[in-house]
A and B are shown apart, each in its own frame.
Chain A
């Protein structure tokens, strides 16, 4: 397992600009900035700072884990471009981490094992991301796959007594979430990333769920 550490994690799929280095199961370095439109200016300086603080050189990393989406068009491009550039330069492989799986892993720390919970995130002006995941100790599963729904339809979809996590303030009860954090991108990669690891990332693209659905429909 040790040859899969340390991991550099990058998360820029939303307003959170987060970078982390997971050293091992017990120690990590992480910086988070919650601010719109700063990701491209901050990210390389933050990674540089983290590496220095951790006393690491880029080439000593095992791989780079990057949040692959869905999420902000520009944000995901910033993260993936950074990962590719650094990875290419230091000859490191990349693990593209599904953003909502990492977020589910992050939330599962606070939810009893095997319990379903709901994640709702802002997708666009009229749309939401909606998913109902669970963690059974071995994998992140979904009792409702990640999908896009209309904001107006949300209340009819929710069931009673569901534990809801969202980045939006609704009238119904929700727990506010920000993230996933870059540490959880690293954690997901550490636990489940082995099959996703690739050196062949020239054509690796952000995962935009909406575009994907449009193309499938065609």
Chain B
């Protein structure tokens, strides 16, 4: 488990994986995690590492499908808002039912694009480029 707010610079995928696995211990059913960061910063990779803790091993980018669903020791919904052009598209796929689910863990990449739909209670994981091989990872909890 990690203490929040959390801020670190990682220099390899292995270090990212360590952070993600520790963060996984903070999570339980009904938690919502927003991921922000530029293209290629490693948002999907971070989700993949967190999900490994829940015995989910087939995490892929949901950019195309909008939402992927995984079932391991926990149910995980993995969203990507990158291609959403209008908020009504999110209502049309039943976003409220997903967000209301108290058993599943929900990740949202590019949540910044549609902030108005995001509930108050959530975690935020910001991944920023420092240089080619370094990323700053900031994790915070919002009540």
Interface residues, chain A, CB within 8 Å of chain B?
Answer: 72-74, 122-126, 208, 210-211, 214-215, 218
Contact = CB atoms under 8 A, between A and B. Distances in A.
A210 B119 contact: no
Nearest to A151: B120
Given A126-B119, A126-B120, A73 B87 contact: no
B100 interface: yes
Contacts of B121: 125
Contact of B100 (A125, A210, A211, A215): A125
Interface stretch (B17-25, B41-49, B77-85, B88-96): B88-96
Contacts of A124: 96, 99-100, 119
B97 interface: yes
A80 B100 CA distance: 21
Contacts of B86: 218
Contact of A72 (B91, B97, B119): B97
A208 B99 CA distance: 16
A154 to B, nearest CB: 15
B91 A208 contact: yes
A73 B120 contact: no
A99 B124 CA distance: 36
A124 B92 CA distance: 14
B9 to A, nearest CB: 33
A123 B117 CA distance: 13
A67 B94 CA distance: 18
A210 B88 CA distance: 9
Contact of A214 (B88, B97, B119, B120): B88
Contacts of B97: 72-74
A214 B91 contact: yes
A215 B119 contact: no
A6 B102 CA distance: 38
A211 B96 CA distance: 11
B88 A73 contact: no
A215 B99 CA distance: 21
